[in-house]
Amino acid sequence: MNLEVLNGLLKPKSIAVVGASATPGKIGYTVVKNLLDSGYEGPIYPINPKRDEILGLKAYPSVLDVPGPIDAAVIVIPARYVVQVAEECGKKGVKGLIVIASGFSEVGRHDLEDALVSTARRYGMRVLGPNIVGVLSNSDKCNASFAPILPLPGKASLVSQSGALLIAMDTATYTRRVGFDKLISIGNMSDVNFADMVEWLSQDENTACISLYIEGLKDGRRFIEVSRKTAKPIIALKSGVSAHGAAAAASHTGSLAGSGKVYEAAFQQAGVVHASDLNNLFDRTLALSLQPPMKGENLLIITNGGGVGVLATDAAERYGIPLRFAPEDVQAELKKHMPEFGSAKNPADLTGMAGREWYEESVEHTFGHPWVDALTVLYCETAMTDPMEIAKAIKAAVDRSGVTDKPITVSFVGGERSERAMQWLVEHGIPAYGAPDVAVNAIAALREYALTHEAGQGEFHPYADVDEAAARAIVAKVRAEGREMTEIEAKGIFKAYGLPVAQTILATTEEEAVKLAAQIGYPVVMKIVSPDILHKSDAGGVKVNVKNADEVRAAYNEILANARAYKPEADIHGVAIQEMAPRATEVILGSINDPTFGPTVMFGLGGIFVEVLKDVTFRVAPVNEAMAAQMLTDIKGAPILAGVRGEKPRDRAALAEVLSRYSQMITDLGDEIAESDANPVIVYEEGQGVKVVDARIILKTK
Ligand code: ADP
Ligand code: MG
């Protein structure tokens, strides 16, 4: 994408306000006033056919009458006139349209929105919105919005899909002490979307951290791709449990995919740090915009109070960075700056006797120690100490330690003096929070950021030994016959992708069944084959451990009778004879075609792990074997695969390959497959491989 074009929207050198008004209280008035109040230095052209002058600026009847060039047009007129204005802006050579006007797709007027975008495209203009608050930028002294003021200056930039939330956050930046350079309202995302914003902000010299409030992404795959390439931290708060998950709950995987699990996976793949709520978005943004990532596992906590120390310890455990005792030399150093009854363990308790010197010395002489990967300093306001002095001592110690590649966070618990001291710390680049667990959570954000980047998502190199044409031929046959796919056909497609399926052959007579069973070797498994019966056990359509010819004959007739009783109108192809796989650990692979992210794989352990505990993990496909291996460790039941209670570990390498091949299958055939699963897949001991004993593919309706 040409990022230059977006400069017209986000760093405009001249601005027209179409729908400018001289009437206080109108948005067209507020926008012009905000531009003036924010000290915008480029020319501002109010556009209003009925007035010569607005707020002391010369007004023009149309953008076409403006003498100089216009980078951005802020549009605040009723929706029905917007397309006409866009046409004029195109003729004028405007670069970007900031469409504050509402009344488009958000109220069902997709036609107006489409016309707006196609007009803009014809002239090479980009569109922000419609239905937005506008764009605010401290570094450009530009408040091109109807939000009250420029936010508290800082190093993060926020992109918000909700306008109301952006306005609320704007003023909250002052009370929350979290600074932003830009606040960008993205609204309906008719043209410019989150991926464009991430791409542009990643090269913006005034943005150190990209903070996102997302209700729903439009192009999920591009978002992942762009985010992954970004060298700056990205943090996102995703609201709304995805409705599509519930809607597409035709399958097990579909119903499990709701509740934001796919977004969670996508964020992880994109290297995006998660925010759990609005407060958390502020708190984590502050840390990510001021501090470097936490590259190792060791957090040292220094405190003057036991209580806050314990709270921080609990939080560390909760947020995934459990505390360890510091090595002897660190403890010996700490002991120099505390009374006899202090504790040099972790948290290091300097006790209530700690004054500025002990804080200063303990921070200065431990932060640089190679064991310490991050530091959290806690302070409870006491009668004998001045919080501002402690704040200054911490800052001086950090500076003198010379450490710049490890993060530090601070928490002061106290009254107004503590508040002022924390404000001073934030102004001097050290994130400070009113509660110890929040200071630890902020460190956890810096750890998560480092981890998602260390893990590296790795390239996916497609398996070359697959036969996509054979797979597509099976799909074509099923489509031509206008029915669901049977297990035998699904296994055919699995096999074309090199997946180890249990040998499965169709018998259409009792005699044939006996012959095939002998050929495959006893014992065998027999199953109903019907496009109208997808849950075979429910229909009494599965017999395992069939041991001889007599049993085959009996099973054959019983399966057919059961199926006919279950669904009299079912089209029955026959009975499948299968090699019987020995029992071992059962797992499930599943896939959905997510409306935002496309083909997505799921992995979980079989039985109650999936049914009751919903212990599953997702990834946007395809996944390479390294990422597949990560999926195996994601789930809570991971120790079962690693081998518990003296059992040998399961063949996780073979399983990772199967998961990776499966993810390629659903990606290659993403235009055809709506959902699929392999339930169960049987996993043997290390070196013994895995076996897919059931397969199901549901095609997209076309
Ligand atoms: P359903 O359509 O009901 O899911 P499955 O094909 O999964 O039918 O069969 C039901 C159960 O029978 C499986 O969960 C598995 O435990 C067992 N089973 C099915 N096929 C085989 C096989 N080839 N070898 C061993 N066990 C099997
Ligand atoms: Mg099954």
pLDDT at 370 (0 to 100): 97
pLDDT of residue 245 exceeding 50: no
pLDDT, position 1 = 54
Question: For the residues 570-590, what does the mean pLDDT come to?
Answer: 96
Q: Which long-range contacts (CB under 8 A, 24 or more apart) does 383-387 make?
A: 384/353, 384/355, 385/354, 385/355, 385/356, 386/356, 386/417, 387/412, 387/414, 387/417, 387/418, 387/420, 387/421
Kindly state the average pLDDT of the residues 293-317. Answer: 96
Ligand 1 pocket test: pick from 253, 691, 693 the residue with the most ligand atoms within 8 Å of its Cβ: 693
Q: Please work out whether the CB of residue 502 comes within 6 Å of at least one atom of ligand 1.
A: yes
Residues 6+ apart with CB under 8 A from 207: 155, 156, 157, 181, 182, 201, 232
Average pLDDT over residues 267-279: 93
pLDDT at 456: 61
Distance 216 CA to ligand 1 centre (A): 38
Q: How far does residue 619's CA lie from ligand 1's centre (Å)? A: 26
CB atoms within 10 A of CB 383: 5
pTM: 0.91
For ligand 1, say whether the CB of 695 is within 6 Å of any of its atoms: no
Interval 619-632: pLDDT, tens: 999 999 999 999 99
State in Å: Cα 679 to ligand 1 middle. Answer: 8
**Considering only CA atoms, which residue is closest to atom 17 of ligand 1?**
544
Q: Which ligand has an atom closest to residue 678 CA? A: 2
How do beta strands 524-529 and 574-579 pair?
Answer: antiparallel
User: Residue 249: which pLDDT band, with cuts at 50, 70 and 90?
Assistant: very low
**Residue corresponding to tokens 């056990």:** 537
Residue type, 358: W
List pLDDT tens digits, range 2-61: 678 899 999 999 999 999 999 999 999 999 999 999 999 999 999 999 999 999 999 999
**What is the number of the ligand closest to the CA of 542?**
1
Q: How many helices (H) and strands (E) does the chain have?
A: 25, 29
506-541 per-position pLDDT tens digit: 999 999 999 999 999 999 999 999 999 999 999 999
Confidence (pLDDT) at 455: 64
Q: Whole-angstrom Cα distance, residue 475 to residue 672? A: 8
486-512 residue pLDDT tens = 999 999 999 999 999 999 999 999 999
Task: Report the nearest-CA residue for atom 20 of ligand 1.
Answer: 693
Ligand 1 site, residue 525, Cβ cutoff 6 A: yes
- In this structure, the residue with its CA closest to atom 19 of ligand 1 is 693
Ligand number, closest to the Cα atom of 527 = 1
- Residue 545 beta carbon below 6 angstroms from any ligand 1 atom: no
In angstroms, the CA 544 to CA 148 distance is 70
Instruction: Say whether pLDDT at 117 is over 60.
Output: yes
pLDDT of residue 253: 58
For residue 602, the Cα-to-chain-centroid distance in whole angstroms is: 16
Residue range 566-580: average pLDDT? 97
Q: Considering every ligand atom shown, identify the ligand nearest to the alpha carbon of residue 679 and give its number.
A: 2
How confident is residue 250, by pLDDT bands cut at 50, 70 and 90? Answer: very low
